[in-house]
Structure 1
Amino acid sequence: MKITLVKKILVDGSPCAKCRDVEERLEQNDQLRFIDETLIADERDSESPGMQVAREHNVSRAPFFLVENEDAEPQIYTVYFKFAKEVLEPMTN
């Protein structure tokens, strides 16, 4: 399984507040260790890696998590709590 976190940089160059909150929550819960890759969706650059992934998966919200398993279609989670419950919780039990 590969987990990618996509977080956003706003047009003014500041980090997305919700993205920062989710990243802090991941740190506090010792869950960052499960994130294999972090991509930046920079609103100032439509070709930034995070923007490309968002387009490819038709996601318009950030942050989001892309979960890729070899045997299944990639899953997108735009809600941290759902991602934590369905993906991270089983990994820690």
Structure 2
Amino acid sequence: MRITMVKKVLADGQDCGKCKDVQQRLEKGGYLPRIDRVLVADERNPGSAGWMVAAQYGVDSAPFFVVRHDDGREQVFTVFMSFLHEILEGRGPAPQDSPEALAELARRDDLDRL
């Protein structure tokens, strides 16, 4: 299995807020060594590798993860907790979010978009 993380770098050169949070969670949980590569979607460079991968998979939020399984199958995770639960912790698919939880996420304005 190969895991690619795509994170966003803002015009000021800083990682996006959500990307910083996810990076800290990966470090704290000891999961960072399992990430094979990190690509950057840099606001200062629309041709950066991260933007190209985001376009390839139709993703418009950061960070996200692309998991290539040994059998060639690929999965894209835009929700860190699902990625953590299913891939890093190996517990299978996470339970589906309730409609109420999804509505709450839709109302939040503190989530970073690509």
- Normalising by structure 1, what TM-score? 0.90
Structure 1 consecutive aligned stretches of length 4 or more whose deviation exceeds 3 Å: none
CA distance in 1, matches of 2:51, 2:26: 22
| Structure 1, 11-20 or 21-30: larger mean CA deviation | 11-20
Name the Cα RMSD after superposition: 1.4
CA distance in 2, matches of 1:52, 1:7: 12
- Residue in 2 that maps onto 1:35: 35
Give 1 or 2 for the bigger CA radius of gyration: 2
**How many Å apart are 1:76 and its aligned residue?**
0.7
**Runs of 5+ unmatched residues, structure 1:** none
**Runs of 5+ unmatched residues, structure 2:** 92-114
| 2:41 equivalent to 1:14 | no
SS in 1 for 2:21: helix
* Percent identity for Structure 1 against Structure 2: 47
| 2:62 equivalent to 1:62 | yes
| Structure 1, 67-76 or 22-31: larger mean CA deviation | 67-76
SS in 2 for 1:50: helix
- Residue in 2 that maps onto 1:51: 51
- Normalising by structure 2, what TM-score? 0.75
**How many Å apart are 1:72 and its aligned residue?**
4.2
Alignment size in residue pairs: 91
CA distance in 1, matches of 2:68, 2:47: 22
- Residue in 2 that maps onto 1:89: 89
